[in-house]
Amino acid sequence: MKKITFFIFSVLFVTTAAQANMSDTNKKKAFDCSGIYMANYFLPSGETFEYSMKEKSMASVKVLKAYALEIGIDEKEWDDGVNKGVDKHYGSKYDEEKTSACHAFVNKLVPNGEERVKKVIQTLY
């Protein structure tokens, strides 16, 4: 009985500790950045951009989601938050300053974020 109780408390502790890695503030920023990245990917025609920016945006969205799932954030919660970010930014013009701030955020939040994004870019096509 002690082993079962210890196991249950261990699982609860690990789950709680894992979710502590992303504060509510960071989740909101991650959702917002995902929305910005998706808006970049679906820029309206006539908008000037480099194709590599679209690749980096898509890769960053994938890295953020993978990291969120790794640390125990529920996939439905993540998808709902990202959808709100997409709704907020979809159809907006490319904003290099916001996009750069999001890249810096991903690199700071996700361990080896920059390398992970580069790796995903290589597997997009």
pLDDT for residue 79 is more than 60: yes
User: Which whole-number Å values give the CA distances from 99 to 56, 88, 96, in the listed order?
Assistant: 10, 15, 5
Domain count across the chain: 1
pLDDT for residue 9 is more than 60: no
Q: Are 103 and 53 in contact (CB under 8 A)?
A: no
pTM: 0.78
Residue type, 44: P
pLDDT computed for residue 94 by the predictor? 86
Select from 84, 82, 57, 69 the least CA-distant residue to 21.
Answer: 69
Range of the domain at 114: 2-123
Q: Are 50 and 109 in contact (CB under 8 A)?
A: no
